[in-house]
Structures are given as structure tokens and as C-alpha cells.
Structure 1
């Protein structure tokens, strides 16, 4: 599908949009949570011959009620060769995306500025992001990417400008990617000015403060996208590397047997790591203790791992460390507390 050029002299201005969102020739690009469809309309003006499918959460009737110019914009997109779908839930793509659309994988799946309807509850926004990433991963081509733009401060990565927020005050974009089995490979400034030149209008909904039977009435409002960041995710493998290495630490204390060696401890760790084959921990002795009653020895170690290629979630790390302790006891190099 060939699209009209935005105008003479604009090619350089839009190159960042093409590169970031992967709008190369013959690529299949899926947009979810499209709101007023202005993002779809803006990138559809580019000259690349990519295949564009735009979807909204609202049904077509709801979309016409909520967004000004909905019908006209939908018709304009379809005339340009863009497939427009309504009633697609980004957190349930497997059920709400038509089967014929899901049959071929996507090179890019893009969600611009997701937001849970209860926008002030951060844990719900994290859940929204994680569930979407998990659904999107299942539809990705082998070298595909999931692309998500977030308002400044939401992502919570080292790429955020200004003072760092506490993790609990962010969407934890990197951690949500790991939970979904994806590595966060890039975080770059969202080219919102270039998109605005193409006609993009950032918009969202806020409740009007009404209650009872009218609590579902919404106002369409623009939001400040200055300083926003675009996060790119990819599946592990084939040289994929995370932008920020995952770091995990665990302190472990135990009574040691006469057969204990640090080499045996590391061997047990490798066995516990299983599918995380090749994960090499750093071992730091924090404390040693000798019981004055019976001469037994206890040690406390800090295990640390750093990886840019594996999805080590907090739960995976917790279970790995628990499994390690069991293996140490089974190997007879650690004395259970009950024998103390």
C-alpha cells in the first residue's frame, strides 16, 4: 500500500518516526488502543509500503459517540488502504482480534500511551501493560518488536529524565516486559513533535466526576506528551540484548558440613538455574560464624546475577534461590536448621 508523501522537505522530519516504529516496506504493523485514530492517520501519510491495521477498544458505535470526526477519519483511513477494526481489546488479542488477522505474525505491534480506565491506580496500569505485552508476544514475527509510548515518568527506567521515582510509583516497564517474556531493548524519546506535524493528536478520557448511572460519561481531553518515552520490546534470542541489564541479589545463610566448598555451591546454583543455562552468579562472603558450643560453622553469602539476554523475573529468581537451598541440603553440604 503506497501512501502520499506529507510534502516536500518533510522526509527528514519523519525519518525518526519510520525508524522507531519500524515502518519498513512489506512489514505488517498492528496498532491497538487507537483512541481517536489520529496516530493511524498520521503514519498512514508516510511513503513506505507497509501493511497497517489499526484497532480501537470501542465498538464502532461507541467510537462515533466518543470521538469527534470518527466516521470521517475511519473512511479516510480505509480509502488509504488501512484496515480499521473496532472492539479489539489489547489485553485479549487472542479472542477479540479476527482470526484472519491473527493468522500472519506482525513485525510491529504498537500501543501509544496506554491507560487503564482507573487511571490513578498504578497497579492496574502495570497489569494492563503486562497483559498487553504477553498477548502481543504471541503474535510477533521472529524479529518483531512491541512498541509502547508512555508519559514521562511512567516507565520508571534509567532513561527517564530528572530525579528517579520509586519503583512502586511507576509502571515498571522493564519488569512488566520480563513478566511477559520480553526484553526491553530500547527506550528513546517519543517523536511527538514529528507525529503532530503529521496530524497526530494525543487524547484520552477522564471521568467527569459523575456518579451512579452517569459514571461512565467521559470527556475527551488531550494530555501533555512532552518528555514522553517510547519503549521497544523483543523476545530473547538471536542476539537480542536488553537496554538495561537485569540485576538480582539474594542473601543466603546456612550451617556448612565438612564437605562444603564454594565450588559445590556454584555447581548447585547451575543445576537450579535449569533453563537459564549459562547464568553465572557472583558470590560474596558476607559473614562467617563458629558456634562456641559445638564448633560448627555457618556462612552468609550474597548471590548476584546480571543478565541482558534472559528474562529473569522476580518470581523466577525467588524460586531459583529456593531450589538452590534444597539442592544444597540434598547434596549434604549444608546442614538443615533442625539439626542445629
Structure 2
């Protein structure tokens, strides 16, 4: 059914699925059924590239053409009190992460690492430089001033490297496992 919906769904359209409380398999369902005993509505919609946008009470008066049909061809209708409306919309296309290779000098040695391209513009912003008016710099200055009022504190003027050589970190912290450290390429 969901596969058919996606074929006729407008780009900004929604799919509304009403289920008796507990049938959806979502955390909103109270009482929540076991996963295998639910419609697994989110998982099924995911197969059609839909995401759950909202869950709310199903108010059948908002749907004048809604007709409660029988349960398994019996005359017994569904109980719509406490039923839930699951609203699905198209998910954004999955875009693979672009990687940028970075290189910088740390303690006189070249260090190579990869970061997501969308973060590469933010790596060297220099917002903590002495002449910066960036909010992070203002907060840092405020904290430094308050600390200086109570303790002897000094601030390093050189920019701190993003990576610390694994052998230096290991020599400082003997309990650190080398597998958890960045290493030079």
C-alpha cells in the first residue's frame, strides 16, 4: 500500500495512516505492543523512502468520508478512541558524505586526517584570535576574567593543534589505550 502512495504523492505531500492505539509500533503508542506484534509502520514507510513527521490523536470528525470498516470481515468495527494518526512525508535524498583530506603541522610533524567537507569551512575560522568579537571569544574572555579573580591562570597565545600525537598523549596518560588515540599518517 505504501509503495502505491509514494507513486501518487506530491513532492510536498503527506501520507496519513490511522491505527488503533498500540498498533503502530512507535514510542507514542500506549500501551506499546511488542515490535513483532505491531504494524511496524515506521519501518514499512521507510521502505518507500518516507519518514514519520508527526504522530497525534486520530480525530475521525476531521475526516468526514472516514468509515470504520469491520474487523476481519466481521460486523465488529475498530475502536477509534485513542487511535493515532501517523503522518509521513518524503525523506530527503541520501547524499553520501564528501570527505576532505586535511594536513597540518603538529609539533613540527605533518599530520594527515579526513573530515566531512561541510565542516572544512569551520576548521580554521580563528574565532578565538585576540582581535575576534565572536560570541565564543566573548564567553572565553568572560570566563578568563572570572577565573583570574580567584586563581592564577595563564592563557596560551599560540593556537592549539587539533590533534595530539598519540605517543605524546600516551606518555602523559599511561592508562590511555593507543587504539583510542589519533596517530600520525
- Name the TM tier (shorter chain): 0.3 to 0.5
Select the structure with the greater relative contact order (CA < 8 A; seq sep ≥ 6): 2
Which one has a larger percent strand, Structure 1 or Structure 2?
1
Structure whose CA Rg is larger: 2
* TM-score normalised according to structure 1 size: 0.27
